[in-house]
Chain A
């Protein structure tokens, strides 16, 4: 299975669904629904509601996240929105504003 990478000059305005890992270096607006892991890299900008298994954020996310396993906000990650996941990790240096719900 190819690893899906959205490069940093790509802008997607719409909905992404899939069953494999997704690495985002570009801009996504809309909705993301994956049954695998989502990696938002430094240059990635997401303005979307996210529903996945895992999320790793090193970029900028504006939107609600609903993860079935874990959400990780790395030290250069920025997030505005609600997080709903059983496991949450916010590293020192991350910027976050929103609600956190760890109950399922």
Chain B
């Protein structure tokens, strides 16, 4: 049994005080008090009639009693709770049942923080005009040619350089310009980035390890 958390099966009833420092998964019944220094997960079949004091609580079953969560408490869609909640972060999902008080602490002085589940706001990228792509690859050229000369000697630089090398070729320049224009017109965050294609394989000095 490789469990890093304690599981209380669905036919087990614990009446008394439960304390610990590891995660607790309740599928059965607990009456009394629960005092954990970690996460309490109440499964759908779980019933807790106790005073709960934990770090995090995720409730998908029934909890009757006050819950004090020092980090967060989440009532999922199947969760049902009667009692007071005291936690700095409270998540009540649509469909949950709850009756009681909610105390998030000192709201006035609550630090600004982004919600954990939301993705970071996409950065708006400036729409590139047709004139702009032209100067860019030209500016790259003088920078790229220097490492080209050193290509044979220095293996490590090849790893960083491949992308720029395709742009320096005259035939590839036109292709790069043509590709860049349509790609930059559309806001990039709405579409997955287009694959640039595999860089053509260069002569590589392969050092085989024995």
Residues of chain A at the chain B interface (Cβ within 8 Å): 1-20, 22-23, 26, 30
Interface contact A14-B20, CB-CB below 8 Å = no
Per DSSP, chain A at the interface is: strand
Measured between alpha carbons, how far is A4 from B9 in the docked complex, in Å? 5
List residues of chain A with CB within 8 A of the CB of B17. Answer: 11-14
**Interface code B1-19, partner A: CB below 8 Å = 1, 0 otherwise?**
1011111111111111111
List residues of chain A with CB within 8 A of the CB of B6. Answer: 5-7, 10, 26
Contacts A3-B7, A16-B14 given; does A11 touch B1 at CB 8 Å: no
Is B32's CB within 8 Å of the partner chain A? yes
Chain B interface size band reads: 20 to 34
The tally of CB-CB contacts under 8 A between chains A and B is: 85
Interface contact A20-B5, CB-CB below 8 Å = no
Which single member of A8, A11, A18 contacts B13 (CB below 8 Å)?
A18
List residues of chain A with CB within 8 A of the CB of B24. Answer: 10
Cβ distance A33 to chain B, nearest Cβ, rounded Å: 9
Interface contact B16-A14, CB-CB below 8 Å = yes
Cβ distance B47 to chain A, nearest Cβ, rounded Å: 13
Measured between alpha carbons, how far is A20 from B13 in the docked complex, in Å? 11
